[in-house]
């Protein structure tokens, strides 16, 4: 299948995370069409589809992510996989092109789990996610499959001083955004961003703490209302008392 690189650009936010469903970019002509997105610092999550049902007609699509600055690369986390099929002979599959790991680069993935849970570094400043699904049979039963891949930009660094402000240094020598630290997904290649430290109070706000804060806020609101009410009652009583005295005299 030919890969057709188009001039279409996916609009992505320059800050924060964004997500894309590959089934939204299917090429009706049958070729794999890649849409290019130039990204600033952000986290990008990709899935096959928003739900679970695939297009009955099949789908071939791709998304290319390229960093605006060539000094940046991508860390690709192969998070979740649920594509029915034999991993040795996938008919429906997702592929990642541009990985430094040559064994996993451009390899069709299907089955129930990716071969690694750790993020994979790209070979440069570009990564391509390709999705392929065959047309459904005539049985009428919906085809179901999905995956979740998360990509995070990184910058090489030998110390924290090499990292941009608010970014953190992985032990493997890559700087990543601080907001993806302790997000429940491995973003450092050695998993160093997800440790017992993530359970410390500065990273986790417990439910009881939230409840206490809400209760205290409600108590303060009620207290303010009561104070205002009492002051108004006293003011009204004083006004009535003053009027009575003036009439008596």
**Structure confidence at residue 8 (pLDDT):** 40
Beta-bridged to residue 147, according to DSSP, are: 81
Q: What is the mean pLDDT of each run of 10 residues along the chain (249 residues)?
A: 43 58 80 61 80 86 82 90 88 94 95 90 90 82 89 88 90 89 90 85 54 80 82 71 54
**Structure confidence at residue 242 (pLDDT):** 57
Question: Beta strand 32-39 with 146-156: parallel, antiparallel or unpaired?
Answer: unpaired
Q: By the 8 A CB rule, do 26 and 60 touch?
A: yes
> pTM higher than 0.85 for the full model?
no
**Structure confidence at residue 100 (pLDDT):** 94
Cα(154)–Cα(177) distance, integer angstroms: 8
* Backbone CA torsion sign across 142, 86, 49, 8: negative
Q: By the 8 A CB rule, do 194 and 211 touch?
A: no
Cα(96)–Cα(240) distance, integer angstroms: 82
């Amino acid at each position: 299948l030919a890969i057709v690189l188009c001039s279409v650009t996916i609009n992505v936010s320059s800050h924060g995370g964004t997500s894309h469903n590959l089934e939204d970019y299917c090429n009706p002509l049958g070729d794999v069409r890649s849409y290019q997105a130039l990204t600033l610092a952000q986290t990008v999550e990709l899935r096959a589809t928003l739900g679970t049902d695939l297009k009955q007609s099949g789908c071939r699509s791709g998304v290319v992510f390229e960093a605006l600055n060539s000094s940046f690369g991508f860390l690709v986390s192969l998070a979740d996989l649920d594509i029915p099929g034999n991993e040795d002979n996938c008919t429906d599959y997702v592929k990642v092109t541009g990985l430094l790991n040559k064994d996993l680069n451009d390899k069709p993935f299907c089955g129930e789990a990716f071969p690694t849970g750790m993020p994979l570094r790209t070979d440069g400043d570009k990564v391509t996610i390709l999705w392929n699904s065959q047309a459904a049979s005539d049985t009428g039963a919906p085809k179901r499959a999905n995956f979740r891949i998360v990509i995070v930009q990184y910058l090489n660094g030998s110390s924290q001083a090499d990292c941009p402000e608010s970014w953190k240094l992985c032990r493997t020598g890559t700087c990543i955004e601080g907001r993806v630290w302790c997000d429940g997904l491995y973003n450092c290649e050695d998993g160093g961003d997800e440790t017992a430290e993530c359970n410390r109070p500065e990273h986790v706000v417990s439910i009881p703490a939230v409840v206490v804060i809400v209760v205290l806020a409600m108590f303060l609101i009620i207290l303010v209302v009561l104070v205002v009410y009492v002051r108004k009652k006293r003011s009204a009583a004083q006004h009535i008392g003053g009027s009575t005295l003036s009439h008596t005299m």
